[in-house]
Amino acid sequence: MFKAIYLDKNEAGFSAGVRELDDDALATHAADGDVTVRIAYSTVNYKDGLAIANRSPVVRKWPMVAGIDGAGVVEASSNPAFRPGDRVVLNGWGVGETHWGCLSGKARLKGAWLVPLPATLGEREAMAIGTAGYTSMLCVMALADAGVKPADGEVLVTGAAGGVGSVAVALLAGRGYRVVASTGRAAEADYLKGLGATEVIDRTALSEPGKPLQKERWAGVVDCVGSHTLANACAQTRYGGAVAACGLAQGMDFPSSVAPFILRGVHLAGVDSVMCPMPRRSAAWAALAAELDRGRLAAMTTEIALAEAIAMAPEVLAGKVRGRLVVDVNR
């Protein structure tokens, strides 16, 4: 038997709770998986918050075990790429949405979804990074691919005190960029500077409607927010700069114009972590293992027990959680 965050919706309504499950339940509800992983740690991402709090139609199959992320050890495998004892990490692929997830003591997953955990990363560290940190690295890679270099000028990170933003600040600072962090939580300024930000600005400077073209400032942007914030970030990006867009905390709309793109040659890169091809996914995890400062990672991480994930879900959605939540699924 093992415990899991179990979500259900039926005629009686929606429910989220900790339930004891067994291998037969996995065999029934995750029958298409070919690798059974004993999960050590998971996490609570924004999408997990939406699912657990029933705030958005994230879950498309009921009942569902929550958790889009997991790290652990292979217990059994019919996939030739994995064998018992292998350490693996899972991010996305519809897990926790259409396939039973990893806020659970065990998960039955497809081997095609799994990344071998880099030797220098433990399972807890992998979930301190999680989809949020892995998405951050994809954003940093997108800026580098677009030619944004540290010498080019300031890089903006929006939603900087959240999970994606915190890791993005640390990664960019580690690569030598001058990072400006935008947040709605002024009390987190010292925290963000500790992660490597050289300046912290209030999010209200970016969150209201603005002109299609504004004074050029940013060589690059990692945007976790969307809506007016993304539009203003694009309008302030310097000629030939790049914006990596990965979030929608402010909204899914994009009230902008083509002006930054056709008059300044700004490059807008959409970053998707869920269905990201395996070669780029593996490259991101290798870079995270090599580059992310472990002290900064520890500074942004809070560990909770499995049952606490339910109460923390609305806190994540409200933007009240600093950095990353790691869930010890076995306590």
- CB-based contact 78:15 (threshold 8 Å): no
Q: Give this prediction's pTM.
A: 0.91
Percent of the chain residues topping a pLDDT of 70: 100
Taking CA atoms, 286 is separated from 120, 121, 137, 140, 292, in Å, by 10, 10, 10, 13, 10
Host H or E run for residue 183: strand 178-183
Quick one: tokens of 244? 């990596």
- CB-based contact 315:52 (threshold 8 Å): no
Residue ranges in the chain modelled with pLDDT below 70? none
Report whether CATH 1.10.10.1590 matches the domain 130-270: no
Distance CA 14, CA 31 (A): 24
Q: DSSP 3-state assignment of 108?
A: strand
Host H or E run for residue 109: strand 106-109
Q: What confidence score (pLDDT) does residue 56 get?
A: 80
Listed in order, the ranges of the chain carrying CATH 3.40.50.720 are 130-270
Distance CA 142, CA 121 (A): 23
- pLDDT, one tens digit per residue, over 286-302 is 999 999 999 999 999 99
Q: What confidence score (pLDDT) does residue 12 get?
A: 86
Q: Is the peptide bond between 63 and the residue preceding it cis, with omega within 30 degrees of 0?
A: yes
- pLDDT, one tens digit per residue, over 12-29 is 899 999 999 999 999 999
Q: What confidence score (pLDDT) does residue 313 get?
A: 95
How many residues would you count in the chain? Answer: 331
Tell me the fold of 2-117+300-328.
Quinone Oxidoreductase; Chain A, domain 1 (3.90.180)
Distance CA 297, CA 58 (A): 28
Listed in order, the ranges of the chain carrying CATH 3.90.180.10 are 2-117+300-328
Q: What confidence score (pLDDT) does residue 9 get?
A: 94
Q: What confidence score (pLDDT) does residue 92 get?
A: 92
Quick one: tokens of 249? 């905390």
Average pLDDT, the chain: 96
Q: What confidence score (pLDDT) does residue 277 get?
A: 95
Q: What confidence score (pLDDT) does residue 11 get?
A: 87
